[in-house]
């Protein structure tokens, strides 16, 4: 069984890998495509989060971000609480200017899925604005 520190290190590495290997390449592809169509783009990538802002002239047109987080899965009720039970799961949150859109396990999100979801959000945004 992993110690608490080993479990935290393992999940942290999983989260960093998700952002660098899945999210960042998808965002770079989106940014390149937006630039081809004359849109400004501001791309930000850190260890656990990435965001892309599509710009229309000097104005921010759409904010879309993904944050990787660890969630603890509880397998017990509180009267039998065991603080050493660290069953952590890697989750991602999709962030829009209006707030958190969705959460889910990082394994279920691919670069193609990110691009598809971004395009759906951009399409909705374009219709409303």
State the pLDDT at residue 81: 58
pTM of structure: 0.83
Distance CA 88, CA 72 (A): 4
Instruction: Quote the pLDDT of residue 28.
Output: 97
* Parent domain of 117: 4-77+84-128
Distance, in Å, from the CA atom of 94 to the CA atom of 99, rounded to the nearest integer, reads: 9
Report the pLDDT value the prediction gives residue 80, as an integer from 0 to 100: 61
**What does residue 55 show for φ and ψ, rounded to 5 degrees?**
-115, 145
62/87: higher pLDDT: 62
Higher pLDDT, 15 or 83: 15
Confidence band, pLDDT 50/70/90 cuts, at residue 66 = very high
Count of domains in the chain? Answer: 1
Q: What does the mean pLDDT of the chain come to?
A: 86
């Amino acid at each position: 069984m992993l110690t608490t520190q080993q479990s935290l290190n393992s999940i942290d590495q999983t989260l960093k890998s998700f952002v660098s290997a899945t999210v960042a390449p998808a965002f770079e592809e989106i940014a390149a495509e937006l630039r081809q169509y004359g849109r400004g783009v501001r791309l930000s990538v850190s260890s656990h989060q990435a965001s892309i802002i599509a710009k229309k002239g000097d104005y921010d047109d759409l904010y879309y971000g993904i944050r990787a987080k660890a969630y603890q899965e509880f397998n017990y009720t509180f009267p039998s609480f065991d603080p050493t039970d660290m069953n952590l799961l890697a989750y991602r949150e999709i962030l829009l200017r209006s707030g958190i859109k969705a959460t889910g396990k990082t394994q279920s999100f691919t670069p193609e899925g990110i691009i598809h979801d971004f395009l759906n959000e951009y399409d909705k945004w374009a219709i409303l604005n």
